[in-house]
Amino acid sequence: MLAHNVYFALHDDSPAAKQKMVAACKKYLADHPGTVFFACGTLEPELSRPVNVRDFDIALHVIFESRAAHDAYQDAPAHHEFIAENKPNWKEVRVFDSVVESA
């Protein structure tokens, strides 16, 4: 499987803007073929240990059944629509992709 984790820092980091972004993730990114797991949400404000990275507003987590499913998702019209609609508010985007196995 391939884990696709994306962390977004927003220019407008108001609660309304964060909820709009989460709603857009759910609308455009949740139901792609080959998705094993999907989740998105906001930074947990109460977890602030020295090891916690806190320079993002929205986290997206998608597990794909294969690299091929991930690659198809990258080229899907809904993914491109998500980017076009939301990119103006992105201050920074970091993507962490990894090959994963379940226990």
Q: Where are the domains of the chain?
A: 2-99
What confidence tens digit (pLDDT) does each residue in 26-72 have? 999 999 999 999 999 999 988 988 888 889 999 999 999 999 999 99
Q: Which CATH architecture has domain 2-99?
A: 2-Layer Sandwich (3.30)
At 33 the pLDDT is 97
pTM for this prediction: 0.94
Asked whether the beta carbons of 2 and 99 are under 8 A apart, the reply is: yes
- List the Cα angle 81/85/90 in 5-degree steps: 120
